[in-house]
Amino acid sequence: MALGGGPFLTQNKELPGTYHNVISAARAFVNLSDRGYVGLPIELDWGVDGDVFTVTQEDLQKDSRKIFGYEYTDPKLKGIRDVFKNAITVYFYKLAVDAVAATNDFATAKYKGVRGNDITIVIQANVDEPTKFDVKTLLANVLVDEQIAVATAADLVANDFVVFKSNAEIAITAGTPLAGGSNGSDITGGAHQEALDALEAYGFNTLGCLSSESVIKSLYVEYTKRIRDQVGGKFQLAGHKLGTTDHEGVIDVQNDANGTDEDIFGAVYWTVGAQAGVSVNRSNTNKRYDGEFTLDMSETKTQSQLSTLLKAGKYVFHRVGDEIRVLEDVNTFTSFTVDKNEDFRMNQVIRVLDQLAIDTAQLFNNRYLGQVPNDQDGRISLWNDIGAHRMEMQRIRAIQNYDKDELTIAQGNSKKAVVVNEVVIPTVAMSQLYITTTVA
């Protein structure tokens, strides 16, 4: 007869044998969530249609032609390159209204947009089997795909740039370009709303608004307020001259960029990446602008101009010698109260508070929700985990003087509720120095 064995919950087994539970030793939760994530609705000549697509720094450098239709060094991508100077991952959504994919007798562009018009299909007789064909796909005269010894169109396999028409009649051609590709009509608020709806399922640190239309800018501001204040999403919006917003979740970039109409958002590209990528224990105050756009300094030349803009909660670039730098890392919150003082205008404070909220939610949702009993032992475990996380935040100098004795965890009004209270003091970077020199 076989001996008993396996795990046990209580000591109630009948058979002789060894019952062994293997469990992890209790370890405090100290994980800090990563930063560097951006959500960015954007007009593009090429790219995934009607859905969010994720791009990392490595993706951009290795596969920019496949993703955006252009080489990494192309001027068309300078705004995107600026985002990635500090961002790690960007969730893009291509803004389009009535866009059309380019096509010809043999193939249709994989994505909608004008870049499809730069694709050409070249068909030649195969050298070894003259009754078969070699089919080449060129983008801006660069070979991006070649399929050898193809008998019929049905044998062709879609590539990163075109979908072949399986019922087409293959014929030799020195080059048949795709045509009719279009980015569509002017981008409407509806397109932006679709983008924001799709991005709501993603977690990111900053959201970029690349519109000069007041109604669309208002859409982004109200979306940000709703997600932060009602849904609990923790990100900040960065846009260009957003108006009077008065909210800690909104960063209002004031500087234009010289150049075309699209270049006006040059400072926003860089800012949305810089605000996402900055560490929770760092500030962007005095950070050097190293973007590719030429920023307009005409409205930020004098101390009077800078002081006025700063008091209004504007995010400003100014010249320091030969360099362009961020004046101060602030948001648009200006209506200070006893419950919400001027500390909330500093983005470093908001980053710390957002980090606490995100990490605590992940801790609870992944390790406690539906898993740990709401009794004294369970709440002590949660107290230890939250306290350990705060100690890690203090170790990296994101917060200071944290007192675990002021962290309380108790049962709420229902048996399944847990109530946490604590006091945190965010640490911010030095930005002002006052000196009194006494000459003896």
If asked whether residues 271 and 378 sit together in one domain, one would say: no
Question: At 170, which CATH number?
Answer: 2.60.40.4290
Inside any domain, residue 365: yes
- Among 11-20, 164-173, 303-312, which is the least confidently predicted range? 11-20
What pLDDT shows up at residue 70? 98
Question: Over 50: is that where the pLDDT of 161 sits?
Answer: yes
Inside any domain, residue 336: no
Question: Over 50: is that where the pLDDT of 1 sits?
Answer: no
Question: Over 70: is that where the pLDDT of 92 sits?
Answer: yes
* Average pLDDT, integer, range 163-176: 97
What pLDDT shows up at residue 32? 82
User: 3-class DSSP state for residue 146?
Assistant: strand
Inside any domain, residue 389: yes
If asked whether residues 166 and 199 sit together in one domain, one would say: no
Q: Identify the band that residue 18 occupies on the pLDDT scale cut at 50, 70 and 90.
A: low
* Average pLDDT, integer, range 246-268: 89
If asked whether residues 259 and 322 sit together in one domain, one would say: yes
If asked whether residues 165 and 204 sit together in one domain, one would say: no
If asked whether residues 195 and 140 sit together in one domain, one would say: no
From the list 379, 391, 376, 377, the residue with the least C-alpha distance to 419 is 379
What pLDDT shows up at residue 152? 96
If asked whether residues 131 and 205 sit together in one domain, one would say: no
> 222 near 216, Cβ under 8 Å?
no
If asked whether residues 145 and 199 sit together in one domain, one would say: no
Can you read off the two tokens belonging to residue 81? Answer: 């390159």
Can you read off the two tokens belonging to residue 205? Answer: 């640190």
If asked whether residues 118 and 146 sit together in one domain, one would say: yes
Inside any domain, residue 428: no
* Average pLDDT, integer, range 8-31: 60
Question: At 301, which CATH number?
Answer: 3.30.1490.450
Residues 6 or more apart in contact with residue 151 via CB below 8 angstroms: 131, 132, 133
If asked whether residues 168 and 216 sit together in one domain, one would say: no
DSSP secondary structure string for all residues of 36-89: -EEEEEEE-SSS-SSSEEEEEHHHHHHHHHHHHSS-TT-GGGHHHHHHTTT-SE
Inside any domain, residue 77: yes
If asked whether residues 122 and 257 sit together in one domain, one would say: no
Domain of residue 113: give its range: 107-177
Query: Domain count of the chain?
Result: 3
What pLDDT shows up at residue 319? 95
Please give the share of the chain, as a percent, with pLDDT higher than 90: 88
Inside any domain, residue 251: yes
Q: How far is CA 362 from the centre of its chain?
A: 18
Question: pTM (2 decimals)?
Answer: 0.91
AA identity, residue 187: I
Inside any domain, residue 335: no
What pLDDT shows up at residue 21? 60
Inside any domain, residue 10: no
pLDDT tens-digit map of 354-376: 999 999 999 999 999 999 999 99
If asked whether residues 200 and 318 sit together in one domain, one would say: yes
Please give the share of the chain, as a percent, with pLDDT higher than 70: 93
